[in-house]
Structure 1
Amino acid sequence: VPKHIVIGGRGLKEGVVEIKDRATKETLKVAPADVLKTLRG
């Protein structure tokens, strides 16, 4: 499932990366260190 990654200026300041799942329309907020782990499932 393709996931759309949004890294905004605000997100970087907060230390949060938003991952938008196009299938479920959910937005996950994860720490940058956890992004790869989250994407790999």
Structure 2
Amino acid sequence: CCLEELLITMRLPFNVEYKLIALESLVMYGVKMLLMVTKSSQLKN
């Protein structure tokens, strides 16, 4: 029952937009973390 609901919501166009936003925020978070790591490594050197 739950799996069917999940599949239905995944097919909705609204959900695609939501997934893109979530993916975008994840990418932005990853980029920020990378920048922080590179900055901290540069400070150590």
TM-score, normalised relative to structure 1: 0.27
TM-score, normalised relative to structure 2: 0.26
Greater relative CO, 1 or 2 (CA 8 Å, sep 6+): 1
- Going by fraction, where is strand more abundant, 1 or 2? 1
